[in-house]
Amino acid sequence: MSGSVRRTTVCIAGGGPAGLMLGLLLARSGIEVTVLEKHEDFFRDFRGDTVHPSTLNLIDALGLRARFEAIDHVPLQRLDVVVNGIRIHAIDFSTLPAPNRLVTLMPQWDLLELLAAEASTLPAFRLEMGAEVADVVRRDGRVTGVRLTDGAVVEADLVVACDGRASTVREAAGLVPRARGVPTDVAWFRMPRPAAPMPDTLGWIGAEGLVVTIPRPGYLQCGLLIPKGSFDAVRAGGIEAFRQRIARAVPRCADVVGDIASLDDVKLLSVQIDRLPRWWTPGLLCIGDAAHAMSPVFGVGINYAVQDAVAAARLLAPALRRTEPGPVGAGVVDAGAVDVACAAVQRRRDRPTGAMQAVQRAVHARIASGALSDLIANPPTRRQRLFLRAVLPRVKPLVARLVGYGFRPERLDP
Ligand SMILES: Cc1cc2nc3c(=O)[nH]c(=O)nc-3n(C[C@H](O)[C@H](O)[C@H](O)COP(=O)(O)OP(=O)(O)OC[C@H]3O[C@@H](n4cnc5c(N)ncnc54)[C@H](O)[C@@H]3O)c2cc1C
C-alpha cells in the first residue's frame, strides 16, 4: 500500500462512535466515505458502555433495533447510586417520552460492530481497519487528504477527525484544544459479579470516594475515581490494600474483590475535559472527542460523539452533493460550501457540549472536595430526609432528561 494514492469524497479518521456513525449516515445519503481505523478490531476495554435514549432513538430510526436487541446488553430504567450505604434511585428514565425510557449498557465494541456491519452493506461506504493516520496532506493551505503510517495517501474533499481525544489529525492540522482542568483520574478494573444477586448499581459514594460498577455480560467493569496523579501511590499500596478499599466502598462485592488478581489488572485512565475554540479549518472538521474530550461523568461521551455525527451528516450532506463543473466535465464538490457547513456544525454543537462539560466539571469539583459523600449522611438528617422525599422526586425528571438526551439532542431529519 506504501506510496499509493486513493480518492474519496469524505475521509474519516477513526472508527469510534463518532466516525462510524458519521460514515454510516453519509453513506446512506449516497456520499462516498472512507473510514480509517488504526486498530485491527474494535475490541478494546477502555471505552464507555452506555447507550442513551437519544442514541436508542437513532438506532430505531435507522431500522437497527432488532439487531441491537439480539446483542447481549443490560437495559436499565433507572440508575442507582449508594451514598454512605443508602440506596438512591438517582436517575429514573421512566419519566422520558416513549418508547426509549431506559439506558442500555452494551460493550462498546458490540455497538461499533453493529454500526460497521450495517454501513458495510452500503456501496458508498468503505472501512479500512489497521489504517493509522499519521499526518494531513495540504494543498494551497487547504487540507486535501491524509497520509497513513505506511505512506499511503487518501485524498478527499473533506477530512473529518474522529480519532478521539489525543487526535493525531487535529494536531497535524494545528488545531489546539483548550483544556479545562479535571482533578480526577480513574483506576479501571473488572470483578466477577458477587454470588448474592445485587441490584444494578452505577455508583458507590462514601469515605473511600466514588466507585463505578458497570454491569457487563458476566462481570462488572469498575472504575475507582482517584485524585489526578495519585495512581502511583495506589500501586505502591499493593494489591491487598486495593482489594480492601474496594470491599469497603462496595460491601456487596466483598466476596469477589479477591478475584482482582494483581495491580497489573488495574489500569490508569486519565480523565480529561477540553474543547477546540475552532472545530474546523479549510478541508477539515473535528467532531466527537477530537473536538471536545468528555469526562466519564454521566457516561455521555458516546452520546455526544454520536449527536455530533448526526448534526454533521445533516449539515454536510447538502454541501457535499453540491457540484461545480470540474476540469474533465464531472462535477466537483464546492469547497467553499463545505467550509460553511463545517462552521455550521460547530455553531450547532459547541454550546450544548460546553454546557455539559460545565456540569461535568461541577461534579468533579464536588468529588475532589469530598462534598459528594456529604450529600446524605447515614442515617440522613431531617433536612436530608426532606430533600430525598420532597426535592429529589421533582428534580429527577430533569436529571433523566439531561443524562438521557443531553442539551440539544439531534434528529436525523429535523
Ligand atoms: C475512563 C472513561 C470512561 C468513560 N466511560 C464512558 C461511558 O460509560 N459512557 C460514555 O458515553 N462515555 C464514556 N467515556 C467517554 C467516551 O469514551 C468518549 O467520549 C467517546 O468514546 C468519544 O467517541 P469518539 O468516537 O469521538 O472517540 P473514540 O471513542 O476515542 O474513538 C476514536 C477512534 O479513533 C481511532 N484512532 C485514534 N487515532 C487514530 C489514527 N491516528 N488513525 C486512525 N484511527 C485512529 C481509535 O482507535 C478509536 O477507535 C469515558 C471516558 C473515559 C476516559
Q: Is the CB of 36 under 6 A from ligand 1?
A: yes
Q: Are residues 189 and 254 in the same domain?
A: yes
Picking from 235, 252, 270, the residue at the C-terminal end of a domain is 270
Residue identified by cell 457535499 is: 320
Q: Is the CB of 16 under 6 A from ligand 1?
A: yes
Say what the pLDDT of residue 273 is: 96
Task: Find the 162 Cα to ligand 1 centroid distance in Å.
Answer: 9
| Ligand 1 atom 2 nearest Cα | 296
**Does residue 90 lie within any of the structural domains?**
no
Q: Are residues 289 and 358 in the same domain?
A: yes
Q: Is the CB of 111 under 6 A from ligand 1?
A: no
Say what the pLDDT of residue 331 is: 61
| In contact, 285 and 311? CB cutoff 8 Å | no
Q: Is the CB of 168 under 6 A from ligand 1?
A: yes
**Does residue 321 lie within any of the structural domains?**
yes
Q: Are residues 234 and 320 in the same domain?
A: no
Q: Are residues 19 and 143 in the same domain?
A: yes
Looking at the 3D structure of the chain, how many domains does it have? 2
| Ligand 1 atom 38 nearest Cα | 163
Q: Are residues 291 and 217 in the same domain?
A: no
Q: pLDDT tens digits, the chain, 414 residues: what are they?
A: 567 999 999 999 999 999 999 999 999 999 999 999 999 999 876 667 889 999 999 999 999 999 999 999 989 898 888 999 999 888 899 999 999 999 998 889 999 999 999 999 999 999 999 999 999 999 999 999 999 999 999 999 999 999 999 999 999 999 999 999 888 899 999 999 998 888 888 889 988 889 999 887 788 989 999 989 999 999 999 999 999 999 999 999 999 999 999 999 999 999 999 999 999 999 999 999 999 999 888 888 999 999 999 999 999 999 998 676 555 445 688 999 999 999 999 999 999 999 999 999 998 888 877 777 777 888 889 988 888 888 888 988 999 999 999 999 998 876
Picking from 235, 270, 305, the residue at the C-terminal end of a domain is 270
Which atom of ligand 1 is found nearest the CA of 301? Answer: 19
- 17 lies in which domain range? 5-71+101-180+273-365
What value does the mean pLDDT of the chain take? 92
The CATH number assigned to the domain holding 9 equals 3.50.50.60
**Does residue 407 lie within any of the structural domains?**
no
Q: Are residues 40 and 134 in the same domain?
A: yes
Task: Find the 173 Cα to ligand 1 centroid distance in Å.
Answer: 20
Taking CA atoms, 177 is separated from 100, 105, 307, 324, 351, in Å, by 34, 30, 20, 34, 15
Which atom of ligand 1 is found nearest the CA of 52? Answer: 11
| Per-position b or e across 177-213, b if 16+ CB within 10 A of its CB | beebebbbbbbbbbbebbeeeeebbbbbbbebbbbbb
- Residue of 38, 41, 111 best suited for mutating to test ligand 1, as the one with most atoms within 8 Å of CB: 38
Q: Are residues 218 and 313 in the same domain?
A: no
Say what the pLDDT of residue 89 is: 87
Which of left, alpha, beta for 225 (phi over 0: left; psi -120 to 50: alpha)? beta
- Residue of 58, 111, 289, 306 best suited for mutating to test ligand 1, as the one with most atoms within 8 Å of CB: 289
Q: Is the CB of 47 under 6 A from ligand 1?
A: yes
Q: Are residues 197 and 211 in the same domain?
A: yes
The CATH number assigned to the domain holding 264 equals 3.30.70
Q: Are strands 78-83 and 203-206 parallel, antiparallel or unpaired?
A: parallel
Say what the pLDDT of residue 181 is: 84
Q: Are residues 173 and 304 in the same domain?
A: yes
**Does residue 398 lie within any of the structural domains?**
no
Q: Is the CB of 37 under 6 A from ligand 1?
A: yes
Q: Are residues 136 and 223 in the same domain?
A: no
Q: Are residues 152 and 293 in the same domain?
A: yes
Picking from 229, 253, 270, the residue at the C-terminal end of a domain is 270
Q: Nearest-CA neighbor of 105 among 175, 41, 167, 56? A: 56
Torsion over CA of 414, 49, 184 and 304, rounded to 10 degrees? -10
Say what the pLDDT of residue 329 is: 45
Q: Is the CB of 303 under 6 A from ligand 1?
A: yes
Say what the pLDDT of residue 215 is: 82
Q: Is the CB of 50 under 6 A from ligand 1?
A: yes
**Does residue 82 lie within any of the structural domains?**
no
**Does residue 386 lie within any of the structural domains?**
no
Say what the pLDDT of residue 371 is: 74
> What one-character-per-residue DSSP string does 358-376 give?
HHHHHHHHHHHHTTTTTSS
| In contact, 83 and 206? CB cutoff 8 Å | yes
Q: Are residues 120 and 257 in the same domain?
A: no
